[in-house]
């Protein structure tokens, strides 16, 4: 993968923009690419398992264009939201066109708001983290910054993690459990942090509270600038982006479990606690997020250096195809359950059954 290859993902906002301008059925052009054409293409395209050499990784980490590709997401994401609200406010979109536009811009938000924010949020430098929270805020999902980094990564593949799906769990049920549980967890993590410092959670010291106030203020500004309907459409794109994120969460750890050691503590997170996919288009669309096994075992590794591991559970295709498949749970289970590792500990649900 060369740095410029990751510009492929920008075809999504380009198609979404074209749809907003043209109206009609064109508003679903971007979702049609992601959920129809790309899954079909990934059935026949190769999924290379090769890893970059140490020298190549060092070169990539010094190449500034890998970061430029990420930071381009900021003006693109903001511009798409503003243009969407403008089109709605002037009556350029109406009826079913608005529904299609919400889907398209929600898809853009999932990729450029949440996923790019996710990548930047794992970096230690302050400016990366500020950019991450800003991007997540454009989808009204800023609490993800707290819950994902301090909650999900420590509790992944355990019953304590709301973002880890269980074997046999329907994605529609998982959406509710993960979205509500993730928001609640983010608040509890911040409240616990402040309690240890002797500070009240109901203060400006609470980052969770600050993020919600900023997001609420942004919605208020949108109502003032574009009207309540346009602002509601923006909120709708955030809901779509959140659902896409949670569907990806559902796929990434479906049915996988960590074991406890002799002291009753969860074992260290290893690559085999996450599903991996090497499908090229999926990797390009998500800044290598589909190489999720390495990401969870080494969360500080930047996306150009993520690797394939032979002993990790492998997805049958990329995220786009499996997201479509997950909408039909019995079919998803028929494909995924036989691929689960055979030596996992039983969950309480499985024992009860």
What string of DSSP letters covers 78-116? Answer: HHHHHHHHHHHHTTSS-THHHHHHHHHHHHHIIIIIIIH
Per-residue pLDDT tens over the stretch 300-339:
999 999 999 999 999 999 999 999 999 999 999 999 999 9
| pLDDT score for 353 | 38
pTM, 2 dp: 0.94
In a domain, 1, yes or no: no
Is the pLDDT score of 352 beyond 80? no
In a domain, 332, yes or no: yes
In a domain, 22, yes or no: yes
Q: How many CB atoms lie within 10 A of CB 149?
A: 17
Q: How many CB atoms lie within 10 A of CB 298?
A: 13
Looking at residue 33, the DSSP 8-state letter turns out to be I
Averaged confidence pLDDT in the chain = 95
More confident residue, 287 or 343: 287
Task: Kindly compute the dihedral angle of the four CA atoms of residues 137, 139, 145, 146, in this order, to the nearest 10 degrees.
Answer: 90
| pLDDT score for 1 | 77
Q: Which domain holds residue 204?
A: 12-352
Count how many domains the chain has: 1
Per-residue pLDDT tens over the stretch 128-184:
999 999 999 999 999 999 999 999 999 999 999 999 999 999 999 999 999 999 999
In a domain, 4, yes or no: no
In a domain, 6, yes or no: no
């Amino acid at each position: 993968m060369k740095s410029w290859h990751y510009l492929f993902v920008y075809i999504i906002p380009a198609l979404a923009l074209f749809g907003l301008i043209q109206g009609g059925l064109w508003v679903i052009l971007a979702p049609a690419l992601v959920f129809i054409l790309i899954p079909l293409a990934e059935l026949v395209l190769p999924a290379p398992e090769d890893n970059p050499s140490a020298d190549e990784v060092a070169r990539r980490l010094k190449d500034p264009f890998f970061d430029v590709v990420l930071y381009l997401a900021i003006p693109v994401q903001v511009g798409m939201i503003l243009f969407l609200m403008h089109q709605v406010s002037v009556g350029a979109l109406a009826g079913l066109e608005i529904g299609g536009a919400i889907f398209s811009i929600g898809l853009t938000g999932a990729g450029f708001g949440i996923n790019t924010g996710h990548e930047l949020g794992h970096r230690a430098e302050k400016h990366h983290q500020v950019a991450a929270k800003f991007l997540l805020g454009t989808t009204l999902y800023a609490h993800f910054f707290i819950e994902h980094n301090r909650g999900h990564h420590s509790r992944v593949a355990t019953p304590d993690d709301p973002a880890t799906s269980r074997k046999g769990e329907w994605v529609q049920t998982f959406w509710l459990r993960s979205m509500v549980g993730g928001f609640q967890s983010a608040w509890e993590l911040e409240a616990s942090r402040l309690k240890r410092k002797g500070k009240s959670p109901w203060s400006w010291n609470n980052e969770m509270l600050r993020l919600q106030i900023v997001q609420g203020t942004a919605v208020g500004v949108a109502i003032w600038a574009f009207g309540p309907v346009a602002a509601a459409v923006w909120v709708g794109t955030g809901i779509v982006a959140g659902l896409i994120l949670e569907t990806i969460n559902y796929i990434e750890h479906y049915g996988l479990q960590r074991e406890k050691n002799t002291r009753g503590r969860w074992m260290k997170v290893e690559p085999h606690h996450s599903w991996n996919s090497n499908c090229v288009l999926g990797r390009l669309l998500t800044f290598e997020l589909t190489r999720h096994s390495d990401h969870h075992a080494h969360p500080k590794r930047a996306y150009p250096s993520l690797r394939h591991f032979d002993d990790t559970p492998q997805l049958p295709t990329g995220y786009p195809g499996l997201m479509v498949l997950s909408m039909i749970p019995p079919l998803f289970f028929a494909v995924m359950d036989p691929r689960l590792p055979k030596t996992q500990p039983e969950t309480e649900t499985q024992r009860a059954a």
